Structure 1
Amino acid sequence: MYCLSCNTETRRESLEPGLMAEQCPTCQGTWLALEDYRRWLAQVPRQAAADEAAGAEMIEETSPRALRCPDCEQLLQKYRVAGHLKFRLDQCGACRKVWLDGEEWPALRAQGLTHSLLHILSDRGQREVRETESRERLDASWRARLGDADYAEAQRVRAWLSGHPQRALLLAYLQATEPVLG
């Protein structure tokens, strides 16, 4: 097989102990069969999330164009990993294989996500990424409208109210134009 990024012949190598994949010796791109990944998951106990490595969030997608599966020629689907990560994973749905650009597996490892690949590639995982990004955009909008200091104070009050036993009464009081006597 030849690398999807630089067209160099790949070699079957160990991505992690017990996890074999086709890897490019030039750009470190990896063609990973999900069948091999599932076997590896079953053998390896889930490790604690790794500490974030410096710069792991900063990698950019190196294959923004649509890629074709080297096995069946179908277009690979792109999957967002997380809103704060600026790269996408490419998967062939027919062959059940994933293309990882050279820095993507190390970035997944740095974020503690190597055991979450199947979730990332699922409809539910993609929905969660979109929902998180939507919440982050909404928070950024409120921060821009309120300013940093007022936004931080509103967040503090929100957190205080969220578990308060008289939350409804306090909200009614805050919304009343005239003081409410209780």
Structure 2
Amino acid sequence: MQTNSIETQERVAMKCPVCKSPELHATDLEAGLTFFNCPECGGNWVRGVAYWKWLEHHGPNLPERWDQDSGLSLAEPGIHIDCPECRFRMVKYLVGHGFSFTIDHCEGCKGVWLDRNEWEALKERNLHDDLNSMFTSFWQDGAQKEARKKRLEQIYVSRFGPDDYAEIERVRAWLATRSNKLDLLAYLTDKDPFDV
């Protein structure tokens, strides 16, 4: 009798890709979606096929909620990990949309590793049903642009100080609404606008 690969893999103990030693335990973190949880680091492995099946029965894609500020403590180890199922090196993808963490995706078996509380954080903002979209170049372009903007903002705050940065942002936003913006900028940058 021949068994399919999923049945075989369920009988083979999967090790945590972060901690390396503890076995992952099957748990239903979401109705109809089985995760494999690490009892030590709290990370979760979700199989790609299982996630797709869950999405099919999940219903329509939920609109993103920006007003949710998660107080969850996230564990982003920042290390490259290997897939617990097929041992491929997993690829890190930026989540973006206000989140600074990455999720790990296996290009081999299409599974996803979520560090502790990442699923919960995504769910609070209705992004848990967008995992597969996060692996697209469109999503990643937006997430990388957001990350660059955040890094530049940190540089400007460091250079100008928080109060001056807030004020220059206020002035910048005001200038953007003016039809004579170039004249106003010329006035501001002129050493002595009254020296004619």
The answer to whether TM tops 0.5 is yes
Aligned mate of 2:166, from 152, 169, 179:
152
1:160 alignment partner, SS class: helix
1:94 alignment partner, SS class: coil
Question: Corresponding residue for 2:93?
Answer: 79
Question: Aligned AA for 2:116?
Answer: G
Question: Aligned AA for 2:89?
Answer: L
Aligned mate of 1:113, from 118, 127, 132:
127
Asked if the contact 2:70/2:124 (under 8 Å) is kept, the reply is yes
Question: Corresponding residue for 1:26?
Answer: 39
Aligned mate of 1:130, from 132, 144, 169:
144
Following the alignment from structure 2 to structure 1, what is the Cα–Cα distance between the partners of residues 44 and 119?
Answer: 8
- TM-score (ref. length: structure 1): 0.76
Aligned mate of 2:74, from 53, 56, 59:
59
Question: Aligned AA for 1:59?
Answer: L
Asked if the contact 1:51/1:111 (under 8 Å) is kept, the reply is yes
Question: Corresponding residue for 2:113?
Answer: 99
**Number of equivalent positions:** 175
Q: Residues 102 and 109 (structure 1 numbering): CA distance in 2 closer, same or farther, change over 3 Å?
A: same
Question: Aligned AA for 2:166?
Answer: A
Q: How far does residue 96 in structure 1 lie from its aligned partner after superposition?
A: 0.9
Structure 1: segments with no counterpart, 5+ residues? none
Question: Aligned AA for 2:75?
Answer: E
My pick for the range that moved more, 26-35 or 79-88, is 79-88
Partner deviation per Cα, 1:124-174 (whole Å, 9 max, x = no partner)? 333333322222222222222222222221111111111222223322332
Task: Establish whether residue 7 from structure 1 lines up as the match of residue 32 from structure 2.
Answer: no
Following the alignment from structure 1 to structure 2, what is the Cα–Cα distance between the partners of residues 112 and 66?
Answer: 26
Q: Residues 93 and 172 (structure 1 numbering): CA distance in 2 closer, same or farther, change over 3 Å?
A: same
Question: Aligned AA for 1:102?
Answer: R
2:34 alignment partner, SS class: strand
1:126 alignment partner, SS class: helix
Asked if the contact 2:95/2:134 (under 8 Å) is kept, the reply is yes
Structure 2: segments with no counterpart, 5+ residues? 1-12
My pick for the range that moved more, 124-133 or 94-103, is 124-133
Q: How far does residue 47 in structure 1 lie from its aligned partner after superposition?
A: 4.9
